[in-house]
Structure 1
């Protein structure tokens, strides 16, 4: 195991956490009418969760079957979750506040 892998996993987890909290904040602001979000955002935020979990589980299981180390299994799974949080944050942050 790479001794720095635990630090990388920690940074990845922090990044995912920051992105997820930012997305939640923008979605809540959208519900309150303070952030410009698409009309289907409330449905989308519920529908995307099962697919993200399945993708992360598939990535972890594939890494396990390939004989990768536990840290690599975690990293593969987190990469899939991070892909979704990063995409949501980029998509919603472009829309900006809705003042009126």
Structure 2
């Protein structure tokens, strides 16, 4: 049990650090303005709503918090990759 809680804690910390990278990249893109910034702002809101709904479904259907964090990290890494290439 301790290993599971420890792993969850470490993965949650990693998620927070990775999310800060995405925040910085998004702020840079938003600061440029224009249609690309508008599209990114819309995408960000839609992604957050979808991710929260997916997390709720995962937990409601017996999924674990570890699964929720793993899914969020995958999405955050994908956003970091996409934004760093723009």
Task: Give the TM-score band, short-chain normalised.
Answer: 0.7 to 0.9
Instruction: State how 1:1-100 maps to structure 2 within 5 Å.
Output: 1=1, 3-33=2-32, 39=36, 40-63=39-62, 73-95=64-86
RMSD, matched Cα: 1.7
More helix by share: 2
Instruction: Tell me the matched-pair count.
Output: 82
Unaligned 5+ runs, structure 2: none
| Larger Rg, first or second structure (1 or 2) | 1
Does structure 2 retain, via aligned residues, the 8 Å contact 1:59–1:80?
no
SS in 2 for 1:84: helix
Q: Distance in 1 between matches of 2:70 and 2:61?
A: 13
TM-score (norm 1): 0.72
Unaligned 5+ runs, structure 1: 65-72, 96-100
TM-score (norm 2): 0.82
Does structure 1 retain, via aligned residues, the 8 Å contact 2:30–2:40?
no
